[in-house]
Amino acid sequence: MTEGLYLVYSCYGISEKDDKADIIFKAARKAYLDFRRRISFQSQVPADQRSIFERQVEELLVNELPGLLAADTQDEFDKIHHQVCENILQVYSVVGKQSYGIAQRWVNQTLLELLTVEKFLDVNYWNTHGKRRYFHVPVDRYLLEAASSKCEGRFQHGLHLKAAPVKYDDMKDFHNGWYVPGETQPPESWGYDEYLQFQMVIRRKIQDVLSDRYKDCIEWGVCAFLEVAQMKNR
Domain parsing of the chain, residue ranges:
2-134, 141-232
- pLDDT at residue 1 is higher than 90: no
End-to-end CA distance of the chain: give it in Å, rounded: 32
The per-residue pLDDT for 179 is 96
The per-residue pLDDT for 232 is 87
Pairing between β-strand 164-165 and β-strand 176-177 as defined by DSSP bridges: antiparallel
Q: Output Rg (C-alpha) for the chain, integer angstroms.
A: 18
Burial of 172 (0-12, 13-18, 19+ CB in 10 A): exposed
The per-residue pLDDT for 226 is 96
Could you tell me if 62 and 28 are in contact, meaning their C-beta atoms sit under 8 angstroms apart?
yes
**Closest-CA residue to 105 (of 167, 29, 187):** 187
Q: What is the mean pLDDT of the chain?
A: 91
Burial of 113 (0-12, 13-18, 19+ CB in 10 A): buried
Distances (CA, A) of 119 to 13, 88, 123: 16, 27, 7
Q: What confidence category does residue 2 fall into, taking pLDDT thresholds of 50, 70 and 90?
A: confident
Residue 183: partners with Cβ closer than 8 Å, 6 or more residues away: 166, 167
pLDDT in tens, 127-181: 999 999 999 999 999 999 999 999 988 999 999 999 999 987 766 677 899 999 9
**Closest-CA residue to 112 (of 230, 216, 10, 4):** 216
pLDDT in tens, 187-219: 998 999 999 999 999 999 999 999 999 999 999
Inter-axis angle of helices 74-91 and 100-121, nearest 10:
120
> If you average pLDDT over residues 105-130, what whole number do you get?
93
The per-residue pLDDT for 171 is 61
DSSP, collapsed to helix, strand or coil, labels residue 166 as: strand
Could you tell me if 113 and 128 are in contact, meaning their C-beta atoms sit under 8 angstroms apart?
no
